A and B are shown apart, each in its own frame.
With several copies, the nearest count.
Chain A
Amino acid sequence: MSYLTDEPIDPHALVRRVMRPSDGAYVLFEGVVRNHHHGKAVESIFYDAYRPMAEKEMELIVRDVESRFPDVALAVVHRLGHLVVGDSSIAIVACSPHRAESFEACRMTIDRIKQTVPIWKKERGPDGEEWLGWQGNDGQGQC
């Protein structure tokens, strides 16, 4: 299960949606706007997306990771729009009867989302604003 939102993320609602009575563990990852990037101060980030394609790509990733970890259930929500330091841009929940699969599935999911889902961010700080990944930028968008 995955979707985009323009609202603040409620990670606990996501956990409740996905947990089953047979699950003994969940791992929740949240990506959060931080106050720096490659040594530059950051105040806010604008997240843009090719929405229908981003939704398709996220769901493809969720289904592929779930097929690799059959005991795992996954839920992903990515927020778009203007976010400030401390706001969560993404939440991923992986739950499973045993913890190892949840850790692995959660991490695989965020790694793959960062590789292929058409979402972009424009960082804004005291030095101006810039789309990450273009013109000599690092293209990593790491968090």
Chain B
Amino acid sequence: MRTMKVRLLFFAVLRDIAGTDMHELALSDGTTARDVWQSLRGQYAKLSDYTQPPMIAINETYATPETVLRDGDELAFIPPVAGG
């Protein structure tokens, strides 16, 4: 199975939880955004209760959790927005 590289960006509360603003992920083909969220829940105790991911952006555009990632994608989980 081939692997691909995906940049995972962290913002706001997620950056505080992750302690970083970016992970470089090496993922196997067919990985979805939801799969990445599930892996984060295992990695960070503060996320373990969040069975559903927040909003998702792939390459700066909103996407669904089931979107299959592609090599070179930029992925971000978007906590509830509070602009304005």
Contact = CB atoms under 8 A, between A and B. Distances in A.
A114 B83 CA distance: 5
A20 to B, nearest CB: 19
Contact of B84 (A52, A118, A143): A143
**Chain B: interface size category:** 10 to 19
A89 interface: yes
Contacts of A56: 60-61
Contacts of B9: 50
Interface stretch (B11-19, B25-33, B35-43): B11-19
Nearest to B76: A50
B4 interface: no
Contacts, number: 85
A110 to B, nearest CB: 6
Contact of B60 (A53, A110, A113): A53
6 contacts: A48-B12, A50-B11, A113-B84, A117-B81, A131-B12, A133-B82
Interface in A110-128: 110, 113-122
Closest 6 CB pairs of A and B: A141-B82, A133-B80, A119-B83, A120-B12, A53-B60, A131-B13
Contact of B81 (A31, A110, A118, A143): A118
Given A48-B12, A134-B13, A118 B78 contact: yes
B16 A114 contact: no
Nearest to B12: A120
Interface residues of A, number: 33
A131 B81 contact: no
Given A50-B76, A56-B60, A115 B12 contact: no
A114 B82 CA distance: 6
A6 B44 CA distance: 31
B29 to A, nearest CB: 26
B57 interface: yes
Nearest to B11: A50
A79 B11 CA distance: 17
A90 interface: yes
Nearest to A53: B60
